[in-house]
Structure 1
Amino acid sequence: MAETSAWDTYSRQKGERRITNAKGEATWFNWTQYPDHGPGAEVLGVRAGASVLELGCGKGGNLAHVAVLGARAVGIDVSRPQLNAAEARWGGVGHLDLRRAEAVAFLDETDEKFDAVFSVFGAAWFTDPAVLLPAVHQRLLPGGVFAFSHRPAVEGCYGCQASYISRSEDEDPLVVKRWDYEPDQWVETLQRYGFTAVTAGVLPAPPGRRKVGTLLVRAHAR
């Protein structure tokens, strides 16, 4: 699949997570594209014994932190190199379950239910919400949390957009689709698919850094 090839290529370009964060912690949760910035796993309401699913877990840093908090942490990704990197770094963490799967296919085929589902610059950005949101809702326990983050939409560029993943100078970039909306449209869309208590907003970038913030969306299943 073209998209699998794109994410395999991205994996080779994506650097490894630091050994520790600014607080000296070996695991931590980061919703934004900036280090040591923004809220953490409290957005998910994670507690020991909870069941949590990450859509597009990549190299597994956020998911490993969820597992360290005592939750059963399931992560799916279409890229084998991404999962290999996650297993190499975090394979010794208990309660961590990594699987190779496409997000909607996994949600449609599994009979598991989750207390929380999340995506950080992952599958929630790169999957048609008309397909993804009903699938997420049916896999959440009543009152369960769905949260995701990614770059905010460029003004006037809404709906399905193209993202480009660079290759060598002699090769054309690989293209994947993403879905961009303003916060108020995300609220309306999630409500349409049965979610409640929906909040959406842009976290500003850290002072003195780039100006592009991070869209953070949070909702509950009925």
Structure 2
Amino acid sequence: MNIESLKINKESWEKSAKRFYGRNPLPEYGPMAPREEQMNLFGKVANLKVLDIGCGSGHSLLYMGERGAGELWGIDLSENQINAAKTLLKKQGFLVRLFQSPMETNPGLPLNYFDVVYSIFAIGWTTDLDQTLENVHSYLKPGGIFVFSWEHPLHSRVKHEEGSFIFNKSYQEEGPYDHEFWDTQAIMQQFKVSTYINKLINAGFKIEEVIEEVYSEEEDLQRHVNRWYSFEKAQLIPTTLIIKCSKLQFDEELEK
């Protein structure tokens, strides 16, 4: 866990929380990505215990609550995001347990407890992916599912210049980077698709689905003009990586 990067990112999010209020929550997984109603990755969540990693303003938890989830839990690095989530969910009448904490540490969450853990466009903010996945695995019941989305690793490797798309960085290059399009300094993590998959397997997960498809509607033509996620670029490079996996059952662990 990189304490300095966490400090930088917390300060950045405290300043940016209002700008990202309600931005791309479930049923969205990311810009120009398929939505939950198309993929049904969670299935029925009625009465299930769910945990949101990087819960932001709480809108994804609201989505789960409206679909009858039994318990709503969330964790986020930003105090402003946690306060926004508390206000939103209380206003809608939902009981929620929220923790202001980095995802790399367990702030007091129960172990082997949750049916569903998910993270919508937040996992790339971790400073320690191995520890974060180990934590998620420990929170889930055997057989529980983990779904996350993040910017596709190819997306930041390709740049649009003078009408052409060129590779400006190697896909093989992994590790922390200072995002050039963020308003304030922000340290994110770059990993290959294979790295995510292998680290999930090593943490004790079974991969269920990997989604890289691009889905766009007419409104996306205007919504993403001249932005980091452009419609033109999405025709060549996926914007979003979505992975669904499950915590291995005890007997499956013994067979490994």
| Counterpart in the other structure of 2:61 | 63
| Counterpart in the other structure of 1:203 | 213
Local SS of the residue matching 1:135:
helix
Q: CA RMSD in A?
A: 2.6
Local SS of the residue matching 1:103:
coil
- Pick aligned residue for 2:31 from 33, 40, 50: 33
Per-residue displacement from partner, 1:179-215 (whole Å, max 9, x unpaired)?
A: 3322x44222211221113422312141564114311
| Counterpart in the other structure of 1:143 | 143
Alpha-carbon contact 2:53-2:74 (below 8 Å) kept: yes
Alpha-carbon contact 1:6-1:176 (below 8 Å) kept: no
Alignment TM-score, normalising by the size of structure 2: 0.70
- Pick aligned residue for 1:191 from 201, 205, 221: 201
Alpha-carbon contact 2:26-2:120 (below 8 Å) kept: no
- Pick aligned residue for 1:177 from 178, 183, 188: 188
Higher-Rg member (1/2): 2
The structure where helix makes up a greater share of residues is: 2
Structure 2 unaligned blocks of 5 or more: 1-6, 158-169, 222-230, 249-256
Local SS of the residue matching 2:28:
coil
Structure 1 unaligned blocks of 5 or more: 19-26, 168-172
Does residue 3 in structure 1 map to residue 44 in structure 2?
no
Per-residue displacement from partner, 1:112-132 (whole Å, max 9, x unpaired)?
A: 42111110111x222222111
Percent identity for Structure 1 against Structure 2: 21
Report the Cα offset of residue 147 of structure 1. Answer: 0.8
Report the Cα offset of residue 98 of structure 1. Answer: 2.4
Per-residue displacement from partner, 1:44-84 (whole Å, max 9, x unpaired)?
A: 23422211100100011111111122211101111111122
Alpha-carbon contact 1:186-1:200 (below 8 Å) kept: no
For these two proteins, the number of residue pairs brought into alignment is 205
Does residue 73 in structure 1 map to residue 88 in structure 2?
no
Alignment TM-score, normalising by the size of structure 1: 0.80
- Pick aligned residue for 1:213 from 239, 244, 255: 239
Structure 1: how far apart are the matches of 2:22 and 2:130?
33
Structure 1: how far apart are the matches of 2:208 and 2:149?
14
